[in-house]
A and B are shown apart, each in its own frame.
Chain A
Amino acid sequence: MTQHRQAFALPPGAPSIDQMIAAERRRARKRLWTGLAFMAPAIAFVAIFLLLPVVFNLYASLTQWAKFSGLNQFAGLANYQRLASSPKFFDATLNTMIWVAVSFVLPATIGLSLAMLLRGVKGEETFKSIFFLPRMFSATAVGVIWYYVYAGDGIVNSGLRAIGLGDLASRWLYESHLATPAMIVTHIWQQVGLMMVLLLIGLNALPSEPMEAAKVDGASRSQIFRHIVLPLLMPTLIMVTTVSVLAGFTSFDLVWVMGRDFPNRSTLTLSVNQYWESFRAGSWAYGAAIAVVLGIIAMSISWSLGALQHRLDKR
């Protein structure tokens, strides 16, 4: 400020510096209020319907909650202790971890293979639409369709019998070692189209010079792919992986619909376990604790992948 005073020689009759500062302050205040007015609806909606619930969920997970009368006392970490000793929670967590592990690797890999396969193939656009089509169906609809696909005499089993592999025909959605893999296959069938399109966008945005240069130097296709395309594509791959992992283990609709007959439905995934314990069995506070665990897993995944992305960006 002092520098300003020295720098300018004020013309006579102009407002004094103090007046100008006051006017600028008024304008700044007005800008603040206008800006906030523009943001107010968004802030209000997000705060009331999204952030407040998260806070309340955290609080509820620390209470005791009687089935028909509501939450009534603070209970510290009792719900979390119950989690730690529950075999169902353990099974559900294990299955959820399978979802996480598989969706880390498979959707992006298959999506990338499809993207590479599709590039330049005749009828690329049509194929793209075909692979993307399942994504336009809701998870509920997909779940219903595949519930019948996996049925005793559904497509999968009759297909296996038709090609002489009848021994492999199974009760896909009934056995604990088959249900989760079967559902993951369905999930991948639905999601891979999205991964493929996202990766195609990424591939098309890559600069072509390095590849041309490598070709001139006589590098083979696989060498080009491994040493040039893959590193350049890394940011997109990480983004795709984040999307697929988060979509995978929090998915409820698909598992709920397909798991209708599974003997231990509440152990299928944490999201189903959470819905079951709260909305079906009435242990609301306990269900809130499961939701917190889900939140922690989700945030640690997106944070670590975000950090990885950040490090790549810096390089």
Chain B
Amino acid sequence: MSATTFDLATLDFDAIARRNDQARTQRILLFAITAILALAWVTPFYYLAISIFKSNAEYGLGNPLALPTSITPVFENIAEAWSKAKMGSGMLNSLLYGLVGGGAAIFIAALASYGLTRIEFPGKGFWFMLIFSGTIFPLQMYLIPLFMGYNKLGMTNSRIGMMLFYTAVCIPFPVLVLRNYMAGLPREMDEAARIDGCSEFRIFRSIILPNCWAPMATLFLIQFTWIWNDLIFSMVLTSREDARSLMNGLMVLQGSYANTTPNVVMTATLLASLPSVALFLLLRKHFMNGLKLQSL
């Protein structure tokens, strides 16, 4: 800000007041536009929220946006959705894949980033590009080979198989982020320990890793939600109920018409989405930090 002094006499107070008025109406107008847009944005969610309180008969009749007449059908809807979509085992599976796949991927990525930033050796660029190349192909190129390979090895419909793949697909992006992050940590931190004769793994574990906790937590959130929300790989690599993920179960429910009515399908949809949405609302800051990572 420039610190020039004003000559009060040169100021046109009327103009300032007009400008302020204008600014205020403009602010109100902007707020109104935003509010209307936001309202439109949440309409599908409102629709979702009221539909789960409707019985099938009630859903079939009348305005889809009308408020439900009572809240009791929701219990029946939940019970039906829960049992038909096998949501219990689906949730456990998705949780398992998300925790193990996301967790392992980020740990492995941290190891690799340590190697890339803290140890001098030739050919680093090549190895980095090799790992990073895991992000440039569309997922469709993995489907058929993975499916065939898993089939051959008897790994379709196995939880281990799912965890291994999710780990792999979640490695490249965290490597990119953590490499940048670790490169920014001061060298003095680990040089001293190295001179004292600490092993590299010790340095990694007790000096570098504790300093990377924040970006790692954020990365974990990103990868966990990705795995939780994934449909295609669960569709291709699992078909049995016992290894099926939640989203896959939801798709089967929606695809198997006839005795599942919209109100039940909507209930299942909401139940399946609650965990990741709750995570978002609770850890909003971390998610927004994650987006900053993405935009680097």
Q: Do chains A and B touch in the complex (CB under 8 A)?
A: yes
Closest chain A CB from B158 CB (angstroms): 14
A38 to B120, CA, bound (A): 12
* A121 close to B31 (CB less than 8 A): yes
- Asked if B177 is an interface residue, CB under 8 A from chain A, the answer is no
Chain B CB count within 10 A is highest, among A49, A121, A146, A257, for A49
Given A35-B124, A38-B119, A148-B262: A50 and B112 within 8 A (CB)? no
Enumerate chain B residues within 8 angstroms of A201, measured Cβ to Cβ. Answer: 291-292, 295
* A198 close to B30 (CB less than 8 A): no
Q: How many residues of B contact A (CB 8 A)?
A: 88
Interface-facing stretch out of B11-19, B145-153, B212-220:
B145-153
B residues 54-100 in Cβ contact with A at 8 Å = 63-65
- Asked if B6 is an interface residue, CB under 8 A from chain A, the answer is no
* A148 close to B266 (CB less than 8 A): yes
- Asked if B243 is an interface residue, CB under 8 A from chain A, the answer is no
A287 to B143, CA, bound (A): 10
A residues 223-259 in Cβ contact with B at 8 Å = 236, 239, 243, 246, 250, 252-253, 256-257
Residue of A nearest to B28 (CB): A122
- Asked if A172 is an interface residue, CB under 8 A from chain B, the answer is no
Given A260-B255, A278-B144, A287-B144: A42 and B133 within 8 A (CB)? no
A256 to B291, CA, bound (A): 27
Task: Pick from B120, B138, B292: contact of A250, CB below 8 A.
Answer: B138
A294 to B295, CA, bound (A): 25
Enumerate chain A residues within 8 angstroms of B51, measured Cβ to Cβ. Answer: 148
- Asked if B125 is an interface residue, CB under 8 A from chain A, the answer is no
Residue of A nearest to B249 (CB): A140
A residues 138-179 in Cβ contact with B at 8 Å = 138-141, 144-149, 151, 153-155, 158
* B171 close to A45 (CB less than 8 A): yes
Closest chain B CB from A288 CB (angstroms): 5
Closest chain A CB from B43 CB (angstroms): 7
* B229 close to A140 (CB less than 8 A): yes
Enumerate chain A residues within 8 angstroms of B3, measured Cβ to Cβ. Answer: none
Enumerate chain B residues within 8 angstroms of A284, measured Cβ to Cβ. Answer: 144, 148
- Asked if A9 is an interface residue, CB under 8 A from chain B, the answer is no
* B295 close to A236 (CB less than 8 A): yes
Given A129-B284, A288-B144: A141 and B138 within 8 A (CB)? no
Residue of A nearest to B48 (CB): A145
Residue of B nearest to A60 (CB): B144
- Asked if A99 is an interface residue, CB under 8 A from chain B, the answer is no
Enumerate chain B residues within 8 angstroms of A117, measured Cβ to Cβ. Answer: 30, 33-34, 37
Enumerate chain B residues within 8 angstroms of A129, measured Cβ to Cβ. Answer: 281, 284
Enumerate chain B residues within 8 angstroms of A36, measured Cβ to Cβ. Answer: 115, 121, 127
* A35 close to B65 (CB less than 8 A): no
* A49 close to B169 (CB less than 8 A): yes
* B254 close to A257 (CB less than 8 A): yes
A34 to B204, CA, bound (A): 12
- Asked if A307 is an interface residue, CB under 8 A from chain B, the answer is no
* B228 close to A198 (CB less than 8 A): no
- Asked if B139 is an interface residue, CB under 8 A from chain A, the answer is yes
Q: How many residues of A contact B (CB 8 A)?
A: 87
* B120 close to A57 (CB less than 8 A): no
A299 to B141, CA, bound (A): 12
* A271 close to B140 (CB less than 8 A): yes
* A53 close to B149 (CB less than 8 A): yes
Closest chain B CB from A257 CB (angstroms): 6
* A35 close to B137 (CB less than 8 A): no
Task: Pick from B42, B47, B114, B146: contact of A149, CB below 8 A.
Answer: B47
Closest chain A CB from B256 CB (angstroms): 11
Residue of A nearest to B257 (CB): A260
Contact indicator per residue, chain A 57-78, by CB within 8 Å of chain B (1) or not (0): 1001000000000000000000
Given A46-B134, A122-B31: A53 and B141 within 8 A (CB)? yes
- Asked if A214 is an interface residue, CB under 8 A from chain B, the answer is no
A149 to B265, CA, bound (A): 13
Given A136-B277, A250-B140: A127 and B38 within 8 A (CB)? yes
B residues 174-194 in Cβ contact with A at 8 Å = 175
Q: Measuring CB to CB, which residues of chain B are less than 8 angstroms from any residue of chain A?
A: 27, 30-31, 33-34, 37-38, 41-45, 47-48, 51, 63-65, 108-109, 111-112, 114-116, 119-122, 124, 127, 130-131, 133-134, 136-149, 164-165, 167-169, 171-172, 175, 200, 204, 225, 228-232, 236, 247, 250-251, 254-255, 262, 265-266, 269, 272-273, 276-277, 279-281, 284, 288, 291-292, 294-295
Could you list 15 further interchain pairs (A-B, Cβ under 8 angstroms) beyond the known A57-B142, A146-B44, A294-B138? A36-B115, A46-B133, A49-B142, A60-B145, A122-B31, A130-B41, A140-B250, A155-B44, A158-B63, A202-B295, A252-B140, A256-B231, A278-B144, A284-B148, A291-B143
Rank and list the top 9 A-B pairs by shortest CB-CB distance, nearest first. Answer: A38-B115, A138-B229, A49-B168, A53-B145, A42-B112, A56-B145, A35-B119, A35-B121, A45-B168
Q: Measuring CB to CB, which residues of chain A are less than 8 angstroms from any residue of chain B?
A: 28, 31-32, 34-39, 41-43, 45-54, 56-57, 60, 114, 117-118, 121-123, 127, 129-131, 133-134, 136-141, 144-149, 151, 153-155, 158, 189, 194, 197-198, 201-202, 236, 239, 243, 246, 250, 252-253, 256-257, 260, 270-271, 274-275, 278-279, 284, 287-288, 290-292, 294-295, 298-299, 302
